Amino acid sequence: MAIVEWEKDESVAIIRMNSGENRHNLEFGKAMCAAIDEALADAEIKAIVLTGNDGKNFSQGVDLEWLGGRLNDQDYQAMKDFMYKMNEVFAKLLTVPVPVIAAISGHAFGNGAILSCACDFRFMRADRGYFCFPEVDLGIPFLPGMIAFCKKSVPYYKFNEMKLTGKRAGAAELEADHVITKACDNLESLMAESVAFAKTFHKKRGIFGEHKKRLHKEIIEIMDVEDKPVIESLALFIAD
């Protein structure tokens, strides 16, 4: 089974992450970019739903075992390539000319929660899974671009709380704070409601893409200008 694959449901591309905890490494980033590009190559696609496949996790974030291996091997280029590739994933989601709905099917931690914030809308199952930014406890700061697009998805007061405390939040709390569009009863209703919402979109790609491009112009500029020196210096890894 591919790391990431997609299927078509009428006008909707359902992109599924298939590796259990769906941790992010360089191969994950490449697979996600390829799946998005393949889905968009079908001119009938009017929306994308991004989800996990195991019913327990949406994504547990960065593959720390893979990253630790690269660090031990002093393979710094692979670490940089990974961060650039994930930025490419985020930028694609922020600018693709169709709406992207994250169907948060379980735990969304760290880079997994950040991935959902790069989407346009978020639905989450209420019976299982938490949403969390644990980087403050892991000693890994956000890239400037991550902060910028998380702030467009999470109200600032909530983002400030979650980012600085590392606390976990469930779907009901996130719905009340307008982080997600809807807390769904279970996995079945999550997918049904996410896809049904996606099917309400029949926008022309040209105008929809221009709306997203202008809406996220400052975010993309931050990613292009401010993220590069942080990635090149590997400044995401700091001492206590």
Give mean pLDDT, residues 135-152.
94
Q: Is the pLDDT of residue 239 over 60?
A: no
Distance between CA 230 and CA 233 in Å, rounded?
5
Please state the rounded mean pLDDT for residues 181-196.
Answer: 98
Q: Hey, what domains does the chain have and what are their CATH numbers?
A: 4-198 (3.90.226.10)
Q: In what order do the strands lie in the sheet with 100-104?
A: 4-9, 12-17, 47-52, 100-104, 121-125, 182-184
Q: What's the whole-number mean pLDDT along residues 150-166?
A: 97
Average pLDDT over residues 36-49: 98
Residue 240 has what pLDDT? 45
Kindly state the average pLDDT of the residues 52-56.
Answer: 91
Q: What is the mean pLDDT of residues 43-63?
A: 96
Instruction: State the chain's mean pLDDT as an integer.
Output: 96
Closest to 93 in 3D by CA, of 226, 209, 231: 209
The model's pLDDT over 72-104, given as tens digits with 9 standing for 90+, comes to 999 999 999 999 999 999 999 999 999 999 999
| Whole-number percent of the chain with pLDDT over 70 | 98
pLDDT at 32 exceeding the cut of 90? yes
DSSP state of 218: H
The more confident residue out of 66 and 1 is: 66
Extract the tokens encoding 38. Answer: 């393949």
Q: Answer whether residue 237 shows pLDDT above 80.
A: no
Helix ranges, the chain (H): 26-40, 64-72, 76-95, 111-117, 135-138, 144-153, 156-165, 171-176, 187-198, 205-215, 217-225, 227-232
More confident residue, 198 or 239: 198
pLDDT computed for residue 139 by the predictor: 86
Q: How far apart are CA 62 and CA 66, in angstroms?
A: 9
Distance CA 44, CA 122 (A): 22
- Amino acid letter for position 227: D
pTM value is 0.96
User: Would you put residue 32 in left (φ > 0), alpha (ψ -120 to 50) or beta?
Assistant: alpha
Q: What is the mean pLDDT of residues 97-117?
A: 98
Over residues 198-228, the pLDDT tens digits come to: 999 999 999 999 999 999 999 999 999 999 9
d(CA 84, CA 87): 5
Give the three-class secondary structure for 89.
helix
